Chains A and B, each alone.
Chain A
């Protein structure tokens, strides 16, 4: 079985993370922001699993389960927030809800 070099997997993870971050920064629709955060989670997960494989330890994969759990919880809370936001402000645009500015 051909082994993929560690660097390329980490670079892939970094690319995924930056894609997610850019998504969070440029998208104004909160649903897409949430999706981009999901991508960032998975980039982290990939990096953990790769590191665990490289060091021959199960900790990396165990960590991925934690991330998965956190992501599931985040989606549950996030979707609730989205619903509430829609009801309270009538919009999903994050730039429109800036009442908290100092």
Chain B
């Protein structure tokens, strides 16, 4: 069964090729069948591969399938090989399954869009590229997928490109990500120069021979981290994600919540051997993650656009994954990726149902009372919000964030500061999640929805929300019976760092986390359900108004970059407009203009002058012929 591995990325890419070439001429039903069918087939193949991988684990707990030698230049050779281990299997399963549900949802969400086949062509290309990224055994192949998902992100953010703001948001996302990608490419070049290969297992083996803290490892780790930071929307390249919400909502759910923004997490987890060798960079990863999760969570508390709240929430949750990576809890980062992909796409899809039913209304304070109109969406939203707020025992998936926090107290990080900041982040997470939930679903009705959510849109999100809230089951089973859990499976691909808190402290911490969530939800309930208006009163204080505005703008990073980068660049470009190099081209143009003026003097429109010129010319020619 494992030999079917190559089909997983090939099927969606085939779907893309069909749709992009002849999709515009096909009937909508045919487009849906091709688009959803290709991803569904890919999901089925993934399930088959996963079953055979789990039932009879291959030697060394990984399987690679070489298709052909891609390129061979001197001592450098790159092979087109797919690599399957616990890490890529988990990620591939999530991408295909969530991708399938979002494709189904989109057939209804985009039903009245003119560019139906173009949308699904891009979506299929995205799924294919993402799978290529995850399955590549060679970093070069991963890089192809990496750029492929970046391209799809650009195409889909700017999907409604006739609106200038959408096109600009797409451009911003593309360019900001590109800064990270350029650094990552340099990192790959350094790897090629030193090891003359980009084959990940060989690279990791070669690097494990280096001493801890060697300059090469530090530089490579930093450059790879820059790529990951750009893609995963972390500080300081985090400005593009809130604007990326300009795209259609299923795109936000699939690309900007569930899958692409976690590509950076995958990259760091995949190349963890490099990061282990440089503790400084590990600390940087943890620091970046913590800073991002706090700043984004604070911004999420004041946003009014439902999609922007969810975007800041995504940024913050990916920050938790980076914190996990930074403290060496690779398995916890991947576990949090899985649960986040499920509940965040459910939240986005729920937001899509509401936005469409309320005629493109994004402001949560203009929604209100949606509980009555959308019982299914309400239930799914509640389950996902509880999962996001990590509230046991209502949701079984309360432990994904807690493992990260526990690990922050253990070596190599041993950071009490990181732990405290992350705990504040958890409090804010529960608060902004339930602020959104209470305002949208439980406050008085402001606006009657135009229509109910179609079944094809509500069912996928119920499935996602259900899975999100039970995704913690394997770990609970492990805690009770001692069977092999999810983490042990992931640890076959990535080493588990030593250290343990012991059951007593773990239970104590667990109680703290639960209490934090409960208090935050209670606060949100008090402020936004019981005593509405209190918040408005507080915000009228002048100093708080300033802070509120700062948070709403996402800490003014856009403003800062506009003044630090964009304006100086534009100034230099303008000042440098007439330099020496331009002299050549301008001189050429000037010479042409002078020659043109001289020639047009002879074309004076006087017939008699023409006759005279012809006569003199003929006389001169004749003289030449006769005399020479």
Contact = CB atoms under 8 A, between A and B. Distances in A.
Co-complex (A, B): yes
Interface in A76-102: 94-95, 97-102
A81 B592 CA distance: 36
A102 B611 contact: no
Contacts of B606: 94-95, 98, 101
Interface string A10-29: 00000000000100111010
A98 B605 contact: yes
Contacts, number: 36
Given A24-B608, A95-B608, A102 B615 contact: no
Question: A interface, how many residues as a size bin?
Answer: 10 to 19
Contact of B615 (A21, A33, A94, A98): A21
A25 B605 contact: no
A9 B350 CA distance: 107
Contact of B603 (A25, A95, A100): A100
A98 B612 contact: no
A87 to B, nearest CB: 18
Question: B interface, how many residues as a size bin?
Answer: 10 to 19
Interface in B582-623: 599-608, 611-612, 615
A28 B615 contact: no
Nearest to A27: B608
A102 B612 CA distance: 18
Contacts of A100: 603, 605
A99 B603 CA distance: 10
A26 to B, nearest CB: 8
A21 B600 CA distance: 25
Contacts of A94: 606-608
A24 B611 contact: yes
Nearest to B612: A25
Contacts of B604: 98, 101-102
Interface string A52-96: 000000000000000000000000000000000000000000110
Contacts of B602: 102
A97 B605 CA distance: 7
A25 B615 CA distance: 10
Contacts of A28: 608
A85 to B, nearest CB: 11
A92 to B, nearest CB: 12
Q: Which 6 A-B pairs have the closest CB atoms?
A: A98-B605, A101-B605, A102-B600, A102-B603, A94-B607, A101-B604
30 contacts: A21-B611, A21-B615, A24-B608, A24-B611, A25-B608, A25-B611, A25-B612, A25-B615, A26-B608, A33-B607, A94-B606, A94-B607, A95-B606, A95-B607, A95-B608, A97-B605, A97-B607, A98-B604, A98-B605, A98-B606, A99-B605, A101-B600, A101-B603, A101-B604, A101-B605, A101-B606, A102-B600, A102-B601, A102-B603, A102-B604
Interface of A: 21, 24-26, 28, 33, 94-95, 97-102
Interface of B: 599-608, 611-612, 615
